[in-house]
Every structure is written in C-alpha cells, then in structure tokens.
A and B are shown apart, each in its own frame.
Chain A
Amino acid sequence: MKLSYLPGCTLKTKAQDLDLSTVAAMEALDVELEELPRWNCCGTVFSFADDDLMHQIAPVRNLIRAQEQGGDKLVTVCSFCFNTLKRASLLVKENSDKLDTLNTFMDEEEDYTGNINVVHLLEVLRDEVGWDQIEGKVQNPLKDLKVAAYYGCTLHRPKEAAIEPPNKLEALNDLITALGATPVDFPDMTTCCGSYQAVANPEIVINRTREILSSAKESGAEMIAVSCPLCECNLRENQKELGELRMPIIYFTQLLALALGVDPHLHQCEKNPADARSFLESKGLLAACTAAE
C-alpha cells in the first residue's frame, strides 16, 4: 500500500525520531509512506476566523500537492499538522465559496477538488492495516510494559476533526494492546499539556506536566506514549524539576517500530531525565530488537 505523507517541519528538525520511526515501522507493515515531493508548513495552527482565508492557503496548498500525487488520502503523524490540515480540508469541503476563493487566488496551481481525506497515522493503523494484522507482525512483544496513552488535545478536538468519537478513546490503547504492552487508563489522557504557552507562560506548562505525570503514575503507568512533538517536548523538558514524578515519554511510533523489530530511533529519549532508552533496556525490550542502534 502506498499513501501520500506529509511529515511536517518539526518532524524534520526537532522531532526527527517521530518521522524516522514512523517510516521504518510502516515499511515493516508493507505501507509505503510517499512523502510529498513539495510541501510547505501546514499552517501550524488552524485559523478560527471565518473569513481569514489567507491562513488557509498553506494547508490547502498541501492538499493540492497530495491531489497531484494521485491518491485520495494524506497521512500525517504530527498531531498539530493533522489538526490544521484536517480542519482546513473540512472547511473547504463544506464551503464551496471559500474553496472557490482559494482556488482563484492560487491561480498558478491546479484547482483543489475537495476530495483529499486527511488521516492521522493511528487511523491508518486501525482502518488500513488493522490491529490483528499488527499483532501478527509483532516480533518483539512489549511484555510487562505499562503504557499510558496520552492523546493530548488535537486528535479528538473538535469532534468533526477527531480520529474517533471524543468520548471513546480507543485507537492508541488498542495499538498498545496489539504490541503486547498493557495500556493504562488515566484521567488526563486528553488534558492539554499547555501547548505553545511554553513560550509566554511556561508556568502553565509546568503545572500541566505535573498534573499529567502524577495522574499517569498513580494509575500505574511506567511510561507515556504520545503522538504530538509539542506534547513530547513539554512533558519531557518540564519534568526535569519534578523529581519523583519523572517518567519516560515516547512516541507511539517508537513503540510500534520496537515491537515490529525495526529501528525505533530512540535519540530524543536521551535528553529526558527519565530516559526511555535505558528504561526499555532495563525491561529487556531493546536486546530483542537488533535493529535498535
């Protein structure tokens, strides 16, 4: 299977592990993620103003690139890219006047027809590959590993753009189960990490990190799996001051790659005071994965 893929700027700079582990794991599942040959920043944050079409140009231009590639889906794994692209795709699908305005403005491009379905990687794993298939391909079951699935904000908000009904968080838990690990339910699965408040109001992010880590820990989790590079960065950077609450943060794609026996690309983990690599090593989960560097 071949699918158009937009990694996003952060996955090419600060969160390269997320990109590399995604591509490696999907290859092991016989899904070729074909990176768009030309893509630009997704727009980062979806613009709320109805008439602010200027900030819909970037996401819609990426949808045109996916359309040019010939498929009907565009896969992203960064939660922010997913949210921005998904909501832009719905906006122009439901408002033909706005689509016309954007197409007229981008007169150097082919018209966007509104038919690209933006999907998050978890949706591909659930709907295109299937949990059973994944379970069948696991080489290195993540036994005795208790993982808190942290969805963050943007995979389930708003409900129109959610990967599943917001009151029914399953995808990440189902994946963790398929990999042989134990998903841990905890009350803060969708609590916002503080997001880009990290820049202007870092105390908000520190408080949120404390709340999320303590509730994960109380629920018996040993590590937290995330999909968003900003959640990863916030939860990792801000736990440095949190002593006993420290806990490894890992991208779900790194767990997937590890279980499938391909390189999980665990480089960013080493920046964490609670290093996911040494933790997985102590659990004996790295020894079985010869591909892990």
Chain B
Amino acid sequence: MEATETKMIPIYIMGKRYEVPEGLTIMKAMEYAGYQYIRGCGCRGGICGACGTIYRKPGDYKIYSALACQTAAEPDMYLTQLPFFPANHVPSNYAELEGVPEDIYKLYPELFRCVACNACSKICPMDVPVMDVIAYIKRGDIEKAAFEAFDCIQCGLCTSRCFAEAPQFHIMQLARRIYGGKLAPKAKHNAEAAQAVREGKFDAMLNQLMSMSTEEIKKEYIEREIEPETAGDDWKPKDAKWLIEEFLR
C-alpha cells in the first residue's frame, strides 16, 4: 500500500510561520514545529488547565481561545499559549470561613469592580458563564455559582481579560470549596462508611490482604470476577462478601 501524503498547513506560533501536518492538535503541532514543553502542558486530556491558548484567524477581529491539547490546528491560526496568568490569590483559613457570601467579599472585594463586560465568559475554553457566576456571588447565591462554575479548570484566561482585574478562577474555586464543605448537604453514606472504618470492620479484610504473598495476590487479581460491559446498575458479583454494604451491615 502506498503511503498517502499528509497535507501540510501553515500556522503562526508567536508570529512565526510553520508548516505542520493537518489534523494535529495545537499542542502536537507546536511539538512538530520544534517546541518542547516544560510548562504549559499537563494532562493532555483537557482537564488540567495548563495549556490555555489564545488565537486569531486572518480577517477576523474576534479573539479565540482553546486548550492546546484538545483543539485541532487550523490553517493560518495565529497562536500563543498563555499557560499561566498572574492573579491575586488570597490565602484563607478554611476552618474559619463561615459559609456565607461575605467570606468571598472580604477576600476578593475587587469582584465588585465587575462592569458585566462579559469578556471572561467569551474567552472561557470550557464555556463557563464566568460573568454570570460573578453575578451569582454578588447576590450571595454560592450554590448556583458553584454549580455554574463546575467545569472551570483554572486555566486563568478569564482573568487575563478582566477589565476589573478580578481573579475569577480563584473566586470561583473558593465558591466551590465553600459550597462543597459548608453548604452542600452531607452524604449520610459517607459518614456511615467512615464510622465502619473507625470500628475496624474492614481490618480483617485488609489483614488478610497484607498476609498474602505477591503470587497469591496476582492469582486473585487475574481470576477476579469482572463486571460485564453490558451489566446494569443492579449487577452484583457472585461472591458478594467484599461489597461495602456487607461490611456496613
């Protein structure tokens, strides 16, 4: 079979033109062009927020954003990566926070400088409605803010665009932490499981595992019963003695 020729496309990295094979992500295209990542690259899976990228297209005034690891390079993209943006991060003692909006207002009073320009939401590569989240915080709705900001990966691009110089990604993270630890209803099953651990209900199982040889553990692992791909939510293994609900009885 003949090797098909890969089409090459021009892209501009920090203003310099490179020819790269079509179909690569921006990150791979930059590596193809000879750049080596020391910073600005993390999980390569669209989750870590390290590879925030800004680009423009010829003849278009709009500013675009992307995660370099998730977005295919297109012809004539003018690219620069913005892996980090300096932002005011105010340390707080979580135990002393009261779970009220004023916790956030005291730490980040600059959020009240927001003029609702919406540049933050427009640049967000995760489509978080950042301006609305700041509006929810201003009106004291931490729960709504936490849910709307759930997809934030802390890339910092919002902050790079902020007219009010507010560090939205830190503010949103604080809102999520306050909601998660101080406002969201506590899961009962978690407390029950923790109590079972304290009561030593899992000790025998762990001791058994610790006393086994590596060979025995490998054998158990290889012969383990695997949940079929098509299994429904009610699937249980034949040997149910290791299921957590057995321990919680």
**Interfacial residues, chain A to chain B (CB-CB below 8 A):** 8-9, 12-13, 38-41, 43, 54-55, 57-58, 61, 105-106, 108
- Interface residue? B141 (CB, 8 A): yes
Given contacts A12-B141, A13-B140, contact A55 B115 (CB under 8 A): yes
Q: How far is the CA of A152 from the CA of B139 in the complex (A)?
A: 23
Complex: chain A residue closest to B163, CB-CB: A54
Q: Specify which of A41, A55, A61, A108 is in contact with B138 (CB 8 Å cutoff).
A: A41
Contact A40 B132 (CB under 8 A): yes
A54 touches B115 (CB 8 A): yes
Give the complex CA separation of A54 and B163 in angstroms: 10
With beta carbons under 8 angstroms apart, the residue of B115, B122, B138 that contacts A9 is: B138
Q: Which residues of A contact B132 (CB under 8 A)?
A: 38, 40
Distance A9 CA – B118 CA, assembled complex (angstroms)? 18
Contact, CB under 8 Å: B139 / A57? no
Report the separation of the CA atoms of residues A38 and B135 in the bound assembly, to the nearest whole angstrom.
9
Q: In the complex, which of the residues A8, A12, A13, A57 contacts B116, with contact meaning CB atoms closer than 8 Å?
A: A57
C-alpha gap A12/B143 in the complex (Å) = 13
A106's partner among B118, B134, B163 (CB-CB below 8 A) is B118
Q: By the criterion of a CB under 8 Å from any partner CB, how many residues of chain B are at the interface?
A: 19
Which of chain B's residues have a CB closer than 8 A to the CB of A57? 115-117
User: In the complex, A61→B131 CA distance in Å?
Assistant: 12
Chain A CB within 8 A of B75 CB: no
In the assembled complex, 5 residue pairs joining A and B whose CB atoms fall closer than 8 Å, in A order, are A12-B139, A39-B135, A40-B116, A40-B138, A41-B135
Decide yes or no whether B101 CB sits under 8 A from chain A.
Answer: yes
Measured CB to CB, the closest approach of chain B to A267, in angstroms, equals: 15
* Beyond A8-B139, A13-B139, A61-B116, 7 extra complex contacts between A and B, CB < 8 Å: A9-B135, A12-B140, A41-B114, A41-B116, A54-B117, A55-B115, A58-B116
A-B pairs, 10 with minimum CB distance: A58-B116, A12-B139, A40-B135, A13-B140, A9-B139, A40-B116, A9-B138, A61-B116, A41-B138, A12-B140
| CB-based nearest B residue for A12 | B139
A108 contacts B122, C-beta separation under 8 Å: yes
* Complex partner residue of A40 from B131, B140, B141, B163, CB under 8 angstroms: B131
Q: Which A residues are in CB contact (< 8 Å) with B141? A: 12
Taking the closest CB of chain A, its distance from the CB of B26, in whole angstroms, is 23
- Please indicate which of the listed interface residues A9, A12, A106 has the most CB atoms of chain B within 10 Å of its own CB: A9
Chain B 115-147 interface residues, beta-carbon cutoff 8 Å to A: 115-118, 121-122, 129, 131-132, 134-135, 138-141
A244 to B163, CA, bound (A): 48
B130 to chain A, nearest CB (A): 12
Minimum Cβ distance to chain A for residue B165 (Å): 14
Q: Which residues from A are CB-within-8-Å of B115?
A: 43, 54-55, 57-58
Residues of the B chain whose Cβ atoms lie less than 8 Å from the Cβ of A55: 115
| 8 A Cβ contacts from B97-119 to A | 101, 112, 114-118
Given the complex of chains A and B, what is the CA–CA distance between A57 and B131 in angstroms?
Answer: 12
Bound: A108/B118 CA distance, A: 9
B115 to chain A, nearest CB (A): 6
Q: How close is B99's CB to chain A, nearest CB, in angstroms?
A: 14
- Chain A residues closer than 8 Å to B131, beta-carbon distance: 40
Q: Which of B116, B121, B139 has the most CB of A within 10 A?
A: B116
Q: When chains A and B are docked, how far (Å) is the Cα of A108 from the Cα of B115?
A: 16
Closest B residue to A56 by CB, please name it: B115
In the bound complex, CA of A38 to CA of B140 (Å)? 14
What residues of chain B lie closer than 8 Å to A61, measured between beta carbons? Answer: 116, 118
Q: Which A residue's beta carbon lies closest to that of B134?
A: A40
Say yes or no: A13-B114 contact (C-beta < 8 A), given A40-B132, A41-B135, A41-B138: no
Residues of chain B contacted by A54 (CB below 8 angstroms): 115, 117, 163
A38 to B121 alpha-carbon distance, docked (Å): 14
- Inside 8 A of A9's CB, which chain B residues have their CB? 135, 138-140
Q: Mark B173-217, 1 if CB is under 8 A from A, else 0.
A: 000000000000000000000000000000000000000000000
| Cα A12 to Cα B140 with chains together (Å) | 7
- Chain B residues lying within 8 Å of A38, measured Cβ to Cβ, are 129, 132, 135
Q: In the complex, what distance in Å separates the CA atom of A39 from the CA atom of B135?
A: 7
Q: A106 to B129, alpha carbons, bound, how many Å?
A: 15
Kindly state the separation between the CA atoms of A108 and B120 in the bound complex, as whole angstroms: 12
B residues within 8 A CB of A41? 112, 114, 116, 135, 138-139
Give the distance in Å from the alpha carbon of A277 to the alpha carbon of B134 in the complex: 35
Q: How far is the CB of B134 from chain A (nearest CB, A)?
A: 8
**Which residue of chain B is the closest to A9 with respect to CB atoms?**
B139
A55 CA to B112 CA in the complex, in Å?
13
Q: Which parts of B136-168 form the interface with A (CB within 8 Å)? A: 138-141, 163
